[in-house]
Each structure stands twice: as C-alpha cells, then as structure tokens.
Chain A
Amino acid sequence: MLANIFSQDLPRSKVLTVILVVILAGLLATPFIFPGARSLNVGAKIAVFIVLAASYDLMLGYTGIVSFAHTMCFGIGAYGIGIASTQMGPTWTAMAVGVVAALLLSTVLALGISLFSLRVRAIFFAMITLAVAAAFMTMASQLSDWTGGEDGLNFKVPELISPAFSLSDEKFLGASLDGKLIAYYLVVVVSGGLFLLMLRIVNSPFGRVLMAIRDNDFRSEALGYRNVIYRSLSSVLAAVFATLAGILYALWLRYNGPGTTLSFDIMIDVLLIVVIGGMGTLYGAVVGSALFNIAQGYLQDLLKLAHGNIDTIPVIGALFHPDRWLFWLGLLFVLSIYFFPFGIVGKLRAGALARKPTAT
C-alpha cells in the first residue's frame, strides 16, 4: 500500500527515510509547533520549492537536459493567478481562468522551445532557454499595466484562503483557524500530491525511456524511440509542474513580482537545490528544498556569528559576510558535482548499500 503510493520507488535508506518523515511531519505540524508568520512562510516555501525543484529534476536528473527557463514557467503560474485576480477579482472562477491560461502559455512556450532547439543538442537548449528566460523577464517587468512591473502585484485571493476568513474564534493548539491556515494546508497537501504524481511519472515506462535517453541517446534512438519527442514531453511536463508550483506560491503569498518567481537568482536556487539534494532521485528535491530554505534563513545567522570574529581579515572576512552565503552554497554545489554527483540522497543511498552488501 505505502509502496504503491510511492510508486515502488522508496527512499532506500533508513537515514533518508527518517529525514523525509521529519520534513513531512515538520511541514504538517509547523502551524502548531512553530506558530508565527515567518515559520509558516518558510514551510510553504519549502513545499512549493519541492514541487519546483522536483519538476526541474524531471528534466535535469531524469532526462539529462539543462533548462534555464524553468523559473519562467514558475513565474507564468504565479502571474496567471496574480493577473487573473487583479483583472477579474478574487473569485474561484478567476483563479480557474488564471490556472488554465498559465498552463496553456507554459505548455506552448515549453513545447515551442523544445521542438525548436532540442533537435540540435542539449547545450543549444540550455543556451536558448537562458536567452528566452531573460527576454521573458524583461518583458514581464516592461508590461507594467498587467504585471505591476518591477514592483510586482499585490492581489487578493478567494475568501476561503485569505487571512480575513475565520473558521472559528477559538484557537486550536495555539494556532488560529483562519484562511491563512487553510491556504497553508492547501499548499502543503497539493504539493505533496504533485510530488507523488511526479514519482509515479518517473517510475512509469515513460520515465524509463527518459532515463534510457539520458544514459545513451544513440542506443535509445536505435531502439526506435524518438528522442526529441520524449525530451520535449519531459520538458513540457516539467513546465506544467513548475507552473502549478507558481500557482501555489502566488495563492500563498498573494503577491508576485519578477524577483519572487522569475529572476535568474531563483533559477540558481533551484539548481542548487536539485544538485545538492541529488539529481535523478526526486527525493533530492525534498531534502534540498528543506535544507536550502532553512539555510537561507539560518546560514546567514551563522555567518553573522563567524563574520563578527574575523571581519578584520580582508577578503576572507568579506566572504564570511552574511550577504555572501551564496558563496558557500555555490562552493558546495561545485563540490557536489565533482564528488557526489547524486547529491545528499545519492550519498545516503550509497551508504545504505554499503552497509547491506548483499542487497542489489
């Protein structure tokens, strides 16, 4: 039963299982054990970034193609909700229109880019997506009548999931039962469902073909699979999930702007999450997202501590400045590509295998 929900693709490492259970329990219990806006925000962001990073892993880890336009789809999802809400009012109909429009736009763009550039080679795809994403971002900040430009959009969401809505005046275990709480659980539960769906996809025959193409594209082509078609499908699927992640994020934040979903910095964050967590494992997205979003908050505090002690040393001291936290993650990123290409999850699984030499 449990194995079925996870599509027979279990964590395969005790430590990893424990970590995943802790992350899941943490996400579910956050409103009660860490009440407060900041921890709820971190929890929701972790959940959304799990979907975003896992969908990126569909392409990067499972299909072996690098796209830099993934946050473009993330942004399209978020803008879909934002624009629909500002133009049509915060109704469920508007949300539905926003969702459908965003999914359509993402699909069309992803399919277009893939068919246009995946025929040639993976590097070409990476370069073109980088260019398209940059152009899209400029466009989004230029079309300020719709998108709010650089300032972004503040918008309302349907009453049920807005903070003004209240289920009961009573507090339950210290948390107020309001629309914010409902929105939080909506984000966490839908994210979980999307994650399980992706797990199902990569363990389906379709997923196996993707991996075959990744490992040996000549061979799979010779076996009669049209690599371009499969790669394009993978990139479209990834785009769809990224758009859904963007939709969830917008519903949660009730705000969207270029820096929140579209920017290249977010793209880098996703890369860091997937690579450090573990490419081609999907679970890596969960571990990576939790680690990254917690690090984003707390690595800076740690650096602040270190910086206080050594800020007299030039350059080295500057690298310990809290604003330079990306330096350390970047270093970890490069080192993980060299030394543990399947990230934390790969490392944990290898460890589990080593302890159980009979296991195959």
Chain B
Amino acid sequence: MSTTTPIAPATVEDLPAAPRDWMPLLLIPILILLALPLVGSFPTWATLTIAGLAMGLIIFLVASGLTLVFGLMDVMNFGHGIFVALGAFVGVTTISALGGWTASSSFALNLAAIGCAGLAAAVVAGTVGVLFERIVVRPVYGLHLKQILVTMGGMIVAEQVILALWGPEARPMMRPASLQGSFIFADIAVEKFRLLAVCLGLTIFAAMSLLLNRTKLGLLIRAGVQDREMVEAMGYRVRFLFIGVFAAGSALAGLGGTMFGLYQEMVTTAIGAQMMVLIFIVIIIGGLGSVGGCFVGALLVGLASNYIGFVAPKVNLFSSILLMVLILLWRPQGLFPVAKR
C-alpha cells in the first residue's frame, strides 16, 4: 500500500483552515481540573489522573477496533470482550513462561517480557479474530438482531473454551520486577507500570492516527466507514479491508487484555464481560465508528472512573453511565458523529 503521493496542483492558494471540532477535546482538561477540588489533595489528584489516563488508554486499545469494525461494516460484535480475555490469559502464560526475564532487575529484559506477552496476545487474539469473523460474523451480515445474538453466543462458547484451557481460577499476573512499585516525584506517587501503559497507549494512538490520516489504507478505512458502497464502487474490495480491520481490532483487544491484566495484576475470564461494558460506554460516548471519539471517550471514562472511584467508590460504574447520558444529551450521536451517507 503506497503512502501519500506528493501531488501539488500548480498553485495552491492559501486556504482558510478547515474548522475542526475541538469542543469535545476540551472535555478532558475540564474533567481533570474539575476533579482537583473534589479530590482535595494535589498529589492524590495527580496519581489518580495518571491512573485514569493509563486505564483510559488501555480501554482505547480495546475499543478502537470495535468501533471501526462497526463503522466499516455495520457489525457490532458483542463478543469483542472474548479477545480481551484471551489476550489476558495468553499474556499470563507468556509472562510466567518468561519468569527469568520478569524476575531480572534489568528494565530491558522486563520490557521485552511484556513486549513478548503483548505480541503473543495480539497474535493469538488476531488469529482467533479472523476465525471468529469467518465462522460467527460472516453468515449474519446485515442482520442486526442475529448479529447481536450470534456474537453473544460466540462469546459464551469461546469463554467456556478459555475456561477449559486455563481453568476457572483467577490468575495473579505479576508485573516484572522493575515495573513494580512507584516513582515518588514531588510527593506524587506514580506507578511505574501505569506510566508504561500511558506511553504504549499514546504510541499506538499516534500510530493509528498516522495510519488513518496519512496512508491510502487508512483513508480507505475512513472512507469505508462513511460510505462503504461508494468505496466498493471505486473498485476497492471492502471485504478484505474489513477482515484486516477485524483482525487488527481483535489483536489490539488482545494486547489491551494483557495490559489490563497487568493493570489489575489479576486475570479472570470475567475480564472480557467486565470490559465490554466500559467499551460500549466509550464508543457510544465517542460516536459509533469514530476513532477520535473513541479516544476522547476512553480517556473521559478512565479518568472519571478513577476520580469517582476515589471520591465515592459506591457509584463508580454508575458514574460512567451518568457521563454517557450527559454527553448524549449534549450530542445525541456521540462526541464525533460519523457522517454517514
């Protein structure tokens, strides 16, 4: 796939920049600032903010693929959570197999262990994703009701297979030695692993943005989200594009599963269903099919759930719902509605 082709028309006049919709982006700093008086203590607030960003970025990893899959083919995969669970378990197995690397105090070896775990999780989840698309999703294209039911059914079955493979017990997931504990920096405790999660999440978001904005493949995906028929009428096989996006989305969910397992330091099969709720809230907030919206939504949910989890833990999950309702009252189609035909 070729990247951007340099095509300059003879003269490009100075254009007024296209008005971009910045309002939703402002919500993130607004939420962060609003939380400060609520939380009270500055160091706690800073710690919570980092934790929220880490959690938000992990949710983004998982949710971005799902929202694209929906945008591109109008397929809502209610079984997406299974890739998260699968990724988490593959991650646990890989990490424990690399016990030497994780126990070592070398940061490079630790990072390599997480890298291998994430890669293994992504590969396995991506492969299963392709199978899932072929066996479960493909026969029910265009049939929403059946799609919801069948993907849900696929998740029930796959979850049982995971239980059969890894057993029903919760598995502890140890962070590698040099990523345990926190930095203390001006009274602010920052968990090392969260910092890593933030870095990884931002890197992947940046890579995804580049792909979607600067490559032909990415432009095709975005165009397909808006008008699949037209992309096909231009001679592109959206089906292949879709399988690719489905596989990539599953792989990212697998990676997200490993990261979420490390974030919680514990893995259960329920991790999939548990995340599914957050993912749905995030992609509804963002606007179905919008990656940018998904990013903002994920950060908002991650931050809100950490702040509220600290201030009023009892209403934690409810806070995400409240956030969703408020945002939908403001923008009924989500933060960045995708312009459909």
Direct contact of A and B (CB under 8 A): yes
Contacts from A to B (Cβ < 8 Å): 60, 64, 66, 116, 120-124, 126-128, 130-132, 134-135, 138-139, 142-143, 264, 268, 271, 275, 315, 318-319, 321, 323-324, 326-327, 329-331, 333-334, 337-338, 341
**Docked CA distance A337–B145 (Å):** 10
A-B contact pairs, 28 of them (CB 8 A): A66-B148, A116-B325, A116-B328, A121-B144, A122-B145, A126-B148, A127-B76, A127-B280, A128-B324, A130-B276, A131-B321, A135-B277, A135-B321, A139-B314, A139-B317, A268-B152, A318-B164, A319-B164, A327-B156, A327-B161, A330-B160, A333-B156, A334-B136, A334-B150, A334-B153, A337-B149, A338-B150, A341-B146
**Docked CA distance A138–B318 (Å):** 8
A330–B277 CB distance below 8 A: no
B163–A324 CB distance below 8 A: yes
Nearest B residue to A119 via CB reads: B332
| Residue B273 interfacial (CB < 8 Å) | yes
| A residues near B150, Cβ cutoff 8 Å | 334, 337-338
With A319-B164, A333-B156 as known contacts, state yes or no: A132 contacts B146, CB within 8 Å.
no
With beta carbons under 8 angstroms apart, the residue of A123, A131, A319 that contacts B324 is: A131
| B residues near A271, Cβ cutoff 8 Å | 149, 152-153
Interface positions, chain B 301-341, Cβ under 8 Å from A, are 314-318, 320-321, 324-325, 328, 332-333
Nearest A residue to B322 via CB reads: A135
| B residues near A318, Cβ cutoff 8 Å | 164-165
**Docked CA distance A334–B146 (Å):** 10
**Docked CA distance A131–B274 (Å):** 10
B18 to chain A, nearest CB (A): 27
| Residue B246 interfacial (CB < 8 Å) | no
| A residues near B325, Cβ cutoff 8 Å | 116
Nearest A residue to B75 via CB reads: A123
Which A-B residue pairs are the 3 nearest by beta carbons? A327-B160, A330-B156, A318-B164
**Docked CA distance A135–B318 (Å):** 5
| A residues near B316, Cβ cutoff 8 Å | 138
Nearest A residue to B316 via CB reads: A138
With beta carbons under 8 angstroms apart, the residue of B149, B314, B321 that contacts A66 is: B149
A132–B152 CB distance below 8 A: no
| B residues near A122, Cβ cutoff 8 Å | 144-145, 148
**Docked CA distance A120–B145 (Å):** 15
A64–B145 CB distance below 8 A: yes
With beta carbons under 8 angstroms apart, the residue of B78, B164, B324 that contacts A126 is: B78
Nearest B residue to A268 via CB reads: B156
**Docked CA distance A318–B280 (Å):** 32
**Docked CA distance A116–B281 (Å):** 14
Nearest B residue to A66 via CB reads: B148
| B residues near A264, Cβ cutoff 8 Å | 273
B164–A321 CB distance below 8 A: yes
| B residues near A130, Cβ cutoff 8 Å | 78, 276-277, 280
**Docked CA distance A123–B168 (Å):** 31
| A residues near B324, Cβ cutoff 8 Å | 128, 131
